[in-house]
Structure 1
């Protein structure tokens, strides 16, 4: 999963606690906060956050399931405002080592795990808000990391790609209430793959494998990866994310480009993303919501 927000931007209190999963986004958010004169404190998730990169910032280590320790550290560091950001492999409830603070909230925690990723993240967010913290998101903290509307690459979608984009958005709108995934690949009007627990990288690898096996017969350079938030999703959490790795996966899958919802999609390493897409001849476009 990938963590993030929406709403009218509030006045942030400093420092802001960045609950940091994997990938580049937690550090990009911390850099954006620093540029605004707001101190970020990384609460780095063990097994997910990059230890070497975390050293650049004030940070504390926490583990999934240690709500008691986490809330104590949030208060020790003076963080009222918190943001979830970064990737995290969803653990099984049986794999989590619960501390006393979590055990006191066990009923809430068990209910949080009875659903998809959006349900889990929003439920944990509500638990933290009940403890006196405020959950914020990317639009509050680092709006420059959100995809703008329109094509950001030299290549743009043709009429066939636009039709595939419309089909992909329709599929994701239909699947959204089931909290399944945030992406689909459509080629010449055919929905060839939908995101599942493997995530977007796994989805694109599956399309590349299907093409290599001859299961996808359309010529390379056709089709689109479409990503969109789930319907009724709390947009502070788990926003769709794309980056240079997404572009590499799309190129390997033989599709023409990537379409996402402008303003509600994170762009990791945007300059590298654009350069990679231009080098591969792919389009990347932000769609009006």
Structure 2
């Protein structure tokens, strides 16, 4: 039986829509999901007790989906079942996103659960290599995407982001802890021209069972407002929500969408 630990955003809801059998939907206090209703809530300080309850309920698999803000641990609220996990949790909260997720996955696996990715339980979230839009990328775009691959690879070593914006083979913006939306909003205020692309891909050596990069229709809207000409995603490595709407939005705004092989 599957437990879905849901965060904010549309991803948890889209996963539920693709499943034949409803999982146990859970959420961490302070990160209430926006697209689904959680049946079980837990505090990070009670993580050990939460995992014990999952076992009692017959849960064998866990999937994490949606955005989650890093909580602050209240040392006085840690229960006995969670106390042995404190060193791992402290190290996780002090790591980058990928390091933190690896630590959480380690806790789940050592507790006897199999950790599944969103794309494991809902494979249709991923798109294969193609250019499904009316507008097609040009030669300048092909040069920009090669630069984008290099930039995201360099960012991976610092565990700081999964996307960048490139114009004329120059990085005009890179994702940081505030995310892709913040990066695209910042670009809207720059008066330095039009064109270029958004490139998005998983980090090198990323554990793809959590935090796979994601876009939806709003991403296309924001890329257009930022003056970009298109969006390039690693095929099979980026979740695309509301895929038909994403393509339709790109066509309406005159952007290309390129699912490019890794």
Deviation readout 1:105-124 (Å, 9 max, x if unpaired): 11111122231011101111
Residue 72 (structure 1) shift? 2.7
163-172 vs 85-94, greater mean Cα deviation: 85-94
Over 3 Å counting, the alpha-carbon distance change for 1:248 and 1:94 in structure 2 is farther
In the alignment, which residue of structure 1 is the partner of 2:36? Answer: 54
Contact 2:3 2:24 in 1 (8 A): yes
CA distance in 1, matches of 2:132, 2:39: 34
Deviation readout 1:47-101 (Å, 9 max, x if unpaired): 33336x434xx72122344312321332233210111110112234569954433
CA distance in 1, matches of 2:77, 2:211: 23
Residue 114 (1) aligns with residue 97 (2)? no
Flag the structure with more relative contact order, 1 or 2, with Cα contacts below 8 A and sequence separation at least 6: 1
Over 3 Å counting, the alpha-carbon distance change for 1:70 and 1:165 in structure 2 is same
Secondary structure of 1:272's counterpart equals helix
CA distance in 1, matches of 2:163, 2:225: 17
Q: Aligned runs of 1:1-289 on 2, under 5 Å? A: 15-34=1-20, 38-50=21-33, 53-55=35-37, 59-93=39-73, 98-209=78-189, 211=190, 214=191, 217-218=192-193, 220=194, 222-289=195-262
Residue 150 (structure 1) shift? 1.2
Contact 1:18 1:30 in 2 (8 A): no
Contact 1:19 1:83 in 2 (8 A): yes
Secondary structure of 1:164's counterpart equals helix
Secondary structure of 2:16's counterpart equals helix
Secondary structure of 1:207's counterpart equals helix
CA distance in 2, matches of 1:228, 1:269: 18
Contact 1:20 1:42 in 2 (8 A): yes
Q: TM-score normalized by structure 1?
A: 0.85
Over 3 Å counting, the alpha-carbon distance change for 1:94 and 1:280 in structure 2 is farther
Secondary structure of 1:197's counterpart equals coil
Secondary structure of 1:66's counterpart equals helix
Cα-Cα RMSD: 1.9
> Any gaps of 5 or more consecutive residues in structure 1?
1-14
Secondary structure of 2:66's counterpart equals strand
Contact 2:70 2:93 in 1 (8 A): no
Contact 2:28 2:43 in 1 (8 A): yes
CA distance in 1, matches of 2:170, 2:75: 39
Q: Provide the aligned length of Structure 1 versus Structure 2.
A: 262
CA distance in 2, matches of 1:255, 1:21: 29
